[in-house]
Amino acid sequence: MNPNVRSELGRNPFFGEFGESLTFPTLNECVAENIQLGWKPRTLPDLRRQEERYFVSLFLKWRFAYPSYAVRPPLVVTRAGGTDEPDFVMTEGEITFGLEVSRATTWLFQRAMDACRRSESFACVELSPKLNIQSHSDLEYHTGRASLDFNSWVHYPGQPFIGHGWSGSLAESLWADVMAYRYNEKLRKLQKRYRRTVDNCDLLLYSDVPAPTWKLDNAVQLLRKTIAERKEPQSSIFFRRVFVVCESWAIFDVLGEKHQIVMKEGWPL
């Protein structure tokens, strides 16, 4: 659907005062401090309503902050998301491609992370077997066949971890499992639809799952292995590049030969 048509139907412009597109004509404007990237959700409901806008802005901030992953202006990001379309269409230099965006989580993780956000600022969610998506079905919990106290998974400062915490192979496996889970879901969508509208499509995953603090590189290797093992050999449709971002770190082209992990100064604490 044409984004202008969607606005005419009474919806507010996706990027607020900037309309349905973000435009960066020159390299001098491709900076993390650009006013077009200044919006942040103030509350959890704000994030729920406009999470894709936040994820794309965060992704562009990471790209602009690291010249080693060069941006080729002019760069234009346009909200799409109609029938048989990815969420966004990007034009970078002379290349136009799709960008599908997803919060890399499951229903279980979402509820646990929401409980965490409602608590103290330094609280986190414990990675434990309770959250293993291979052991429990999202649908099972969503339909009320199991009752869980998500607040019990919130780990407050000073409390000991009862499981593996943020280190060890269990935490890495859980993180990789959730990333692969969402990747495969989006890949099936790409294989069914997007090839009819764009020649190439990238995938942006927002990591809502606590990453293993000291062993992010090991977790990435496990993710690559997990995706390779689950790949359908007959399929010729795939995402051109896959990015994973959160507030503290980003991974550029996570499945590529030259993937790059970048982190904020001082992380991990």
Are 134 and 245 part of one and the same domain?
no
> How many angstroms separate the Cα of 193 from the Cα of each of 81, 86, 138, 239?
12, 9, 24, 13
| Residue 88 maps to a domain | yes
Structure tokens at 120: 């103290």
Taking only the tens place, the pLDDT of each residue in 56-68 is 999 999 999 987 6
- pLDDT, averaged across the chain: 78
Are 151 and 22 part of one and the same domain?
no
Q: Is the pLDDT of residue 203 over 80?
A: yes
| pLDDT of res. 64 | 94
Taking only the tens place, the pLDDT of each residue in 136-184 is 445 455 555 455 666 666 666 666 555 544 444 566 777 888 889 889 9
The model's pTM: 0.80
Q: Is the pLDDT of residue 5 over 50?
A: no
For the chain, the straight-line distance linking the first and the last C-alpha, in angstroms and rounded, comes to: 44
- SS3 for 88-138 is EEEEECCEEEEEEEEEECCHHHHHHHHHHHCCCCCCEECCCHHHCCCCCCH
Q: Is the pLDDT of residue 86 over 50?
A: yes
Are 158 and 36 part of one and the same domain?
no
Are 76 and 178 part of one and the same domain?
yes
Are 36 and 154 part of one and the same domain?
no
| Residue 46 maps to a domain | yes
For residue 136, what are the domain limits?
107-166
Q: Is the pLDDT of residue 194 over 70?
A: yes
140, 166, 192 - which closes a domain: 166
CA atoms lying within 13 Å on the CB side of residue 127: 22
Are 114 and 243 part of one and the same domain?
no
- Among 166, 111, 102, smallest CA distance to 133 is for 111
Are 91 and 120 part of one and the same domain?
no
Are 48 and 114 part of one and the same domain?
no
| pLDDT of res. 127 | 55
Q: Kindly indicate the confidence band of residue 91, based on its pLDDT and cuts at 50, 70 and 90.
A: very high
Whether 203 contacts 87, CB under 8 Å: no
Are 83 and 182 part of one and the same domain?
yes
- Among 252, 179, 236, smallest CA distance to 211 is for 179
Taking only the tens place, the pLDDT of each residue in 6-48 is 444 346 888 989 999 999 999 999 999 999 999 888 776 677 6
Q: pLDDT exceeding 90 applies to what percent of the chain? A: 35
Structure tokens at 53: 């806008």
Are 112 and 95 part of one and the same domain?
no
- Among 75, 84, 74, 30, smallest CA distance to 197 is for 84
Are 7 and 121 part of one and the same domain?
no
- Among 178, 131, 179, smallest CA distance to 154 is for 131
How many other CB atoms are found less than 10 A from the CB of residue 56?
24
Taking only the tens place, the pLDDT of each residue in 100-145 is 999 887 776 677 667 776 766 556 665 555 555 444 445 455 555 4
Question: Running DSSP on this structure, what letter comes out for residue 203?
Answer: E
Taking only the tens place, the pLDDT of each residue in 207-245 is 877 666 657 888 899 899 989 887 766 567 789 999 999
- Specify the number of domains making up the chain: 2
166, 194, 211 - which closes a domain: 166
| Residue 269 maps to a domain | no
Q: What's the rounded Cα separation, in Å, for the pair 30 and 120?
A: 34
Are 155 and 176 part of one and the same domain?
no
